[in-house]
Amino acid sequence: MSIKAILFDKDGTLIDFDRTWGPAAYETMRALAGHDRAALERLMRVNEFDEAERRFAPTAPMVGGSSAEYGPLWAEALGRVPGEELYREMDDLLRDWGLRSLAPIGEPAAVLRDLQQRGLRLGIATNDAESSARAQARALGIDGMTDFIAGYDSGFGSKPEPGMVSAFVDHHGLRPDEVAMIGDSLHDLLSARAAGVVPVAVLTGPLGEAAREIVAPHADHVFASIADLAGWLDPVMA
């Protein structure tokens, strides 16, 4: 096996989900609720969100999902019509607040720079909106290292479907077994498996080490974080 390209999940893999999206989602929900405390409480309830800790339960719809998936829940809580207008508003607010609270996991720019220098082609596939993913990639200093960035709204579908992963493979004209997908959730691993690429799990998502028993059956490899990739890649790039 020779790995020539790596596709990264973003939330829980490159950035800390709770530290980034806890504060960002809270401010987004407050903005959408306006001065209606009851609406805010409904939003927090459907999002399984702890206001005191500014974090989601691991089973929350927003963990791994896209605004197209959890958007109808927000619409119901707000008494609004579900659809593109609301989802765009949600995405715009989440993008702006997410940049303010952006919290990288370790040093993603250093890790990706090392991988790029090894000749690997790099990309990002996320269930976040593409505009948010690109903005965060710029803020992290990795946008110049990733020539493929796809979100749920990029036209390839969302994870756990294989569309984004297959599009990355096709973008570089590679065989699926020459590509690895790195992620912290079942969504990432199932999309990788369905696309025929190498599924690799990291334990930097909301569940931390506790995710091992969930992801291990679906991953070819499990690492503590993306910082461990270099040691794995030395032999598999030969």
pLDDT tens for each residue of 17-27: 999 999 999 99
Strand order in the sheet with 221-223: 146-150, 121-125, 5-8, 179-183, 198-202, 221-223
Q: pLDDT value at position 66?
A: 87
pLDDT range class, residue 36, cuts 50, 70, 90: very high
Chain segment 127-158, per-residue pLDDT in tens? 999 999 999 999 999 999 999 999 999 999 99
Q: Is there a contact between 115 and 122 (Cβ–Cβ < 8 Å)?
A: yes
CA pair distance 142, 163, nearest whole angstrom = 23
Judged against a pLDDT cut of 60, whether residue 9 lies above it is answered with: yes
Q: What pLDDT was estimated at residue 236? A: 59
Amino acid at position 21, single letter: W
For 39-107, give the DSSP string: HHHHHHHHTTEETTTTEE-TT-TTTT--HHHHHHHHHHHHT---SHHHHHHHHHHHHHHHHHT--BSS-
* Tens digit of each residue's pLDDT (9 = 90 or more) over 43-89: 999 999 999 999 999 889 998 888 888 999 999 999 999 999 999 99
The per-residue pLDDT for range 214-232, each reduced to its tens digit, is 999 999 999 999 999 998 9
Residue pair 143/105 in contact by the 8 Å Cβ criterion: no
What does the pLDDT read at residue 234? 79
Q: Residue 164 above 90 pLDDT?
A: yes
pLDDT at 178 (0 to 100): 97
Which domains are assigned to the chain? Answer: 5-16+104-236 (3.40.50.1000), 18-100 (no CATH)
Which one-letter DSSP state was computed for residue 127? S
pLDDT single digits (tens) 83-110: 999 999 999 999 999 999 999 999 999 9
Residue 237 pLDDT > 80? no
Q: In the prediction, which pLDDT does 180 show?
A: 98
Identify the pLDDT of residue 1.
61
Confidence of residue 235 (pLDDT cuts 50, 70, 90): low
Distance CA 128, CA 145 (A): 19
In this predicted model, what pLDDT tens digit does every residue of 177-203 receive, in sequence order?
999 999 999 999 999 999 999 999 999
